[in-house]
Structure formats: C-alpha cells, structure tokens
Amino acid sequence: MGTGADIKADFMAAKKVANDRGEDVSLMEPMLLSADSRFREELTNLAFNLVSRSSGFHHSLPKGTAAALADLVRSTNCYYSNLIEGHNTHPVDIERALKNNYSRDADKRNLQYEAKAHIEVQRWIDGGGLAGHATTREGIREIHRRFCENLPKELLWVENPDTKERLTVVPGELRSNDVIVGRHVPVSSGAIHRFLDRFEAAYTPLGKAELTVATAAAHHRLAWIHPFLDGNGRVVRLMSHATLLETLDTGALWSVARGLARNVDTYKMHLANCDQTRRNDLDGRGNLSEKALAEFTRFFLTTCIEQVDFMESLIQPDRLRARVLLWAEEEIGVKSLPPKSVLVLEALLNRGELPRGEVARVLGMTDRHSRRIVAELIRRDVIVS
C-alpha cells in the first residue's frame, strides 16, 4: 500500500476543494416510514417473523457449533458480496487467502486480498467491534478504513470517467469529489457531513424493533449519500450486517448478502426506485418515494427470512448431532480420523465446549494419547481450539 506519507501525498495531489451545493438534508426524507403509513403493519409483521425465526435458529445450535458455523458464513458473505461488485472470487481461493496462500496471478491475488479484508472486517463486527455504532458516522468510516487499509495499492484508486484522472482512495476518508452513480447524482462532497449527521440522528437512537424495520431504509440512504470514492456498496452491506447482528440476535449464522446476490437485478432495481422522488400526494410526505422505500423494505425483510430458512434447512439442527456422529464413524472406518474421535465430537455436541484437561477422561486414554487425537482433529479442521 505504500507509506502513510505516500498515500497522503497522492491524495492531496488529486484532492479538489470540497464542493458544497448547499443541499438540504430534507432531500433524503423520509428516513423512516411514517407512523400512519399504509405499509407499516405488513412490514412490522414481517420484521416480527424475522426476529422469531432468526433467534430460534441461533438458539437451536450448541454454542461451539454456532461459532464454527459463523466462521463459514463469513466466507459465504464475502463471496456473495464480491459477486454483487462483479468480482467472482472462487470460494477455494478465499479459503486459501485465509491461510495466506495467494495466487501468482496478480489479478486473482488482488481479489484474494480483497476477500480476506472483507472477512477480517466482518470478524471484527461479529466480535462486537461495532456494537451500538453501526449507523454512526464514525462507525461507517471505521468499516471503510478497516476494509481499505488491508487492500493492495493497486485497488486503492478510481478513475474519473470524464477526465481519466486517477484519484486515490484513502481508508476511512470521505470523498472530496463529486460523483455520478448511474442515473443518480449523490450529494455534493461538501454536504456529506450534513447528511451523515442526519443519517446518524435518524437511525442510531432507534430501538431494536424499529431498527429492524428501518435497516433497509438505512441501507438505501447510505448508498444514496455515497460517502466514499469507492467501496460504498460493500460498506453499506457490512453496516446492514452489523445492524441485523445486533437487532435480531443472528449469531452471524446467516447472510443477507447471499439473498441480495442471488436476486441482484431485483436488488439494484429497488435501490434505483428508492432514488426516485415522491410520485404523488399518496406517496408519503418526504422528497423521496415512501412507496418505493416500503417495497424495498418488504424485499429486504423477505430476503432475510429466506436466508434464515435456507440455513436452517441446510444445517437441520434437530438432526445435526446424528449426522455429525455418523460422518465421524464413517471417517474412522476408512482411517481418515483417529479411533475414538467420535467420543470427542459427541462431548462437544452435547456441551458446546470441552476443556483440554477433560479430553483424556472422555476418551478413557492417557493424556499423551488424547493430545494426539485432539491435534489430529484440529489439523483436519474437524474441531477448533
């Protein structure tokens, strides 16, 4: 990436005086569906259904199993978020990157760095790093900073399509240039601070129930502001992940990014529709369309429910114990796992965690032999320390 001095010099060379067209923050309204909105009851019911399903799935799994599954979901989330950005990074290459095994091909290697950066940010979020701050200005900037500071220098620039000027993307820095995104003209660079202040004031004080309904609105409104030169889509999805983690007790066991990527055209259509101004007197009282915002919220919450159901059907918590133990017996039978490994897995499935000092007792073996079995299970990625 170069030294901090190099990045700063590049940035200052490309930086223009922030232009402020004096836009009023009311241009972004409505931030929330109005209290008397005809859509509110339906969307509140969807949110309640999502809360119930997500919490039920999370608590149907042993703690240790849930934590291991969350690690896998981070890679899944990264893969699908990359697809939305048009970057098809193979899951095998993502797993290799996590083990610092990078491709010799420069383009593929850069995508591996990008994937690993995404996963590390989500790991920080899943560990509570953004708790209570997902919709704050500083929280949003911290997501961008953590993601971009782990990218190679080759990925930290954008090109002005009109002037062909290369502009450096500085981790965590708000853009100082005006941009156009498709047909949407985001707010001027000098106005970003005002709009982020309004964004934070609208969403951060909300209770969990209200914020669950409002997550889709926050998702679109941050994309509408477009605060950074690059990386906005990824920051928006990571912010939404952090919001859902806190409001829904997800346990990081499912990813809305998968659902958005599998319906990417519909997802982008809804985002574009939400850019449109109010259509008539029945379309809310703000500058932007309330109906479009409600339709995106319905799509977003329905997509979340579908992802919870998908993961639950995939894992089958009620059959998980039997499936894992059957698999272990088969692996022991073909000598891919040490004898008695199934006893360790059974104890872990029953209790969630197993202190190393108790393994010998569970196995009925000496400490020396039990350590060998544990080491082999860790080496095979069957269990984690």
Residues 181 and 101 both lie in one domain: yes
* Domain stops at, among 315, 330, 364: 315
Instruction: Evaluate the CA torsion angle 151, 155, 158, 164 in order and state its sign.
Output: positive
**DSSP characters over 152-194:** -GGGSEEE-TTT--EEEPPTTPPP-S---BTTB-PPPGGGHHH
Residues 6+ apart with CB under 8 A from 163: none
Would you state the pLDDT for residue 8? 42
Confidence of residue 4 (pLDDT cuts 50, 70, 90): very low
Would you state the pLDDT for residue 63? 78
Backbone angles phi, psi at 193, to 5 degrees: -60, -40
User: Average pLDDT, stretch 335-346?
Assistant: 89
In a domain, 194, yes or no: yes
In a domain, 23, yes or no: no
Residues 245 and 297 both lie in one domain: yes
The letter for the amino acid at 111 is L
User: Average pLDDT, stretch 334-348?
Assistant: 89
CA angle, corner 168, sides to 163 and 172, nearest 5? 135
75 vs 381, more confident: 75
In a domain, 25, yes or no: no
Please give the residue range of the domain that contains residue 299: 4-18+36-315
In a domain, 29, yes or no: no
Cβ–Cβ < 8 Å for 253, 312: no
Residues 329 and 309 both lie in one domain: no
Residues 94 and 184 both lie in one domain: yes
Residues 306 and 361 both lie in one domain: no
Instruction: Give the CA distances from residue 238 to residues 222, 285, 367, in Å, rounded to whole numbers and listed in that order.
Output: 12, 30, 44
Residues 253 and 339 both lie in one domain: no
Residues 353 and 228 both lie in one domain: no
Residues 138 and 203 both lie in one domain: yes
Helix axes 232-248, 40-58, angle to 10 degrees: 70
In a domain, 9, yes or no: yes
Q: What is the average pLDDT score of the chain?
A: 90
* Domain stops at, among 315, 347, 363: 315
| Per-residue buried b or exposed e for 106-131, using 16+ beta carbons within 10 Å of the residue's own CB | eeebbbbbbbbbbbbbbebbbeebbe
**Six-digit token pair at 216?**
């889709």
pLDDT digits (tens, 9 = 90+) for 137-163: 999 999 999 999 999 999 999 988 778
d(CA 226, CA 92): 32
Residues 347 and 285 both lie in one domain: no
pLDDT digits (tens, 9 = 90+) for 61-92: 877 788 888 988 899 889 999 999 998 888 89
Would you state the pLDDT for residue 352? 74
E strand or H helix at 69: helix 63-84
User: Average pLDDT, stretch 340-360?
Assistant: 85
Q: Which CATH number fits the domain that encloses residue 212?
A: 1.10.3290.10
* Domain stops at, among 315, 333, 355: 315
Cβ–Cβ < 8 Å for 288, 28: yes
Confidence of residue 9 (pLDDT cuts 50, 70, 90): very low
- Report how many domains make up the chain: 2
The three-class DSSP label of residue 265 is: helix
Residues 151 and 169 both lie in one domain: yes
In a domain, 385, yes or no: no
In a domain, 243, yes or no: yes
Among the residues of 161-289, which ranges form H helices?
192-203, 208-225, 232-248, 256-262, 264-274
How many CB atoms lie under 10 A from the CB of residue 166? 12
Backbone angles phi, psi at 159, to 5 degrees: -115, 130
Residues 249 and 322 both lie in one domain: no
In a domain, 189, yes or no: yes
d(CA 47, CA 40): 10
Residues 324 and 177 both lie in one domain: no
